[in-house]
Amino acid sequence: MIMGIKDCWLAALVFIAAASASFSPEKPVPPPCRACTQLVGSFRAGLERTKRGHAGGDTAWEEEKLRSYKNSEVRLVEIQEKLCSEGEVINKDHCHNLANEHEALLEDWFTHKQTQSPDLQSWLCIDQLTVCCPANTYGPDCLPCTECNGNGKCKGDGTRKGNGKCKCDLGYAGPNCNECGPEHYESFRDEKKLLCTQCHAACGEGGCTGGGPKSCRKCKKGWSMDSEAGCVDINECLEQQRPNSCRPQQFCVNNEGSFSCLECDRSCDGCDGDGPDMCKKCADGYELRDGKCHDISAEQRSNYVSYTRMLTYFGMCVATCVIFQSSTHIAWGCIVGAAVAGYIAVSEYWINSEAEGGHQPEIDTKQLEELIMKSL
């Protein structure tokens, strides 16, 4: 029975593991050219890692030893042990599979072709596997790319894919990226270089003829055209262009080309800005004093706590007097307690007075401390 339960648990664990594996997200597989380039990069890193030098002694013997090690099977094994282990490799499993699939080619280059074809990338990815093209060429036949004048990239550059056309950088346009794109203007041009700069934020459709809001052909929404200043921001709040956009318990804040609505302070019943001093009216439970809406209920609670504390201290003093009639020793202890309570009460009053900007009470707290210490 026990073995049957164990078998069931084992089967369940195997099922869960298989299900987890089947639902795990697949690792991205890089395109053929990039996968080959990653493999070459890892192999080059292995070559650099296993490169050795000599430190004196019999120089001729050392050089002969290094020549034999350069193409040795020992070095090849050392490289293959850590192949595809670099952090920049996108999919290590795919890289390992590619290395195993083309192990014979890698071994052939390592053993026989290092000297005559030192560029492993070109030899393996372009000539042997035909998955890449030389720089500035594209497609199955490695045709020349379109000239993009340094303002874009050739689609398929260096690969057997793409159409060779330019994908222009932001702000540039045209088949050869030698024009300025929408909402950009030509700020510099010579025989070799074109520089396009973005129009001012106020410019709308049609772009601009130069820098600044005066050069806009048309203003964006939220801006208006001025004959002297060009496109100027519309203050939706002051000009009340959208009087019903903010709710009663919100106030309007103007932004460049737009506006936003922010919540009033909770002490306000309508407001013109942020804070309890910007209220149109005070909300229920608040009272206007010195230009600000104050929380009446909070002040009442504070006063109630203060009264309760003072009554407690008074009760301690009364209890001390009652106990004094029956036992002197107990009474002295109560007196000390009452003195401490009095000291605390005075300290709290002094701190609260300072926090509220009031005057410091004229009480000699040092004398009160000495009185307490003597009573002890």
User: What average pLDDT does range 297-302 have in this prediction?
Assistant: 66
Question: Within a 13 Å sphere around the CA of 261, how many CA atoms are in the beta-carbon half?
Answer: 10
Span 144-198: which CATH code?
2.10.25
Quote the CA–CA distance of 139 and 365 in Å, as a whole number.
92
What CA–CA distances, in Å, run from 255 to 75, 270, 275, 296? 66, 21, 20, 36
Could you tell me the residue ranges of all domains in the chain?
32-50+64-132, 144-198
pTM: 0.61
pLDDT at 159 over 60: yes
Q: Which two tokens stand for residue 268?
A: 């306000």
pLDDT of residue 297: 75
Quickly state the pLDDT bin for 211 (edges 50, 70, 90): very high
Q: Is 195 helix (H, G, I), strand (E, B) or coil?
A: strand
What is the rounded distance in angstroms from the CA atom of residue 143 to the CA atom of residue 137? Answer: 5
**C-beta of residue 39 within 8 angstroms of C-beta of residue 95:** yes
**What is the rounded distance in angstroms from the CA atom of residue 281 to the CA atom of residue 266?**
11
Pairing relationship of beta strands 184-189 and 137-138 according to DSSP bridges: unpaired
pLDDT band at 328 (very low <50, low <70, confident <90, very high): low
3-state SS, residue 201: coil
Q: How confident is the model at residue 237 (pLDDT cuts 50, 70, 90)?
A: confident
Q: What is the C-alpha to C-alpha distance for residues 311 and 204, in angstroms, rounded to an integer?
A: 72
Q: Which of 103-107, 151-155, 298-302, 328-332 has the lowest mean pLDDT?
A: 328-332
* Type of residue found at 361: P
Q: Which two tokens stand for residue 319?
A: 């209890």
pLDDT band at 230 (very low <50, low <70, confident <90, very high): very high
Query: Is the pLDDT confidence value at 333 over 70?
Result: no
For the cut 90, the answer to whether the pLDDT of residue 110 exceeds it is yes
Which pLDDT belongs to residue 128? 96
What residue type is assigned to position 172 of the chain?
Y
Among 6-10, 174-178, 191-195, the range scoring the smallest mean pLDDT is 6-10
CA distance 33 to 130: 9
Helix residue ranges, H only, the chain: 2-23, 32-49, 59-70, 73-81, 92-101, 103-108, 120, 296-326, 328-355, 365-375
Of 59-68, 141-150, 206-215, 236-245, minimum mean pLDDT range:
59-68
> How far apart (Å, rounded) are the C-alpha atoms in residues 306 and 6?
69
With residue 143 as reference, give the H or E element that holds it. Answer: strand 143-144
Question: CA-CA distance, 8 to 14, in Å (whole number)?
Answer: 10
Average pLDDT of span 65-79: 82
Is residue 76 within 8 A of residue 164, CB to CB? The reply is: no
Question: 279 and 293 in contact (C-beta within 8 Å)?
Answer: yes
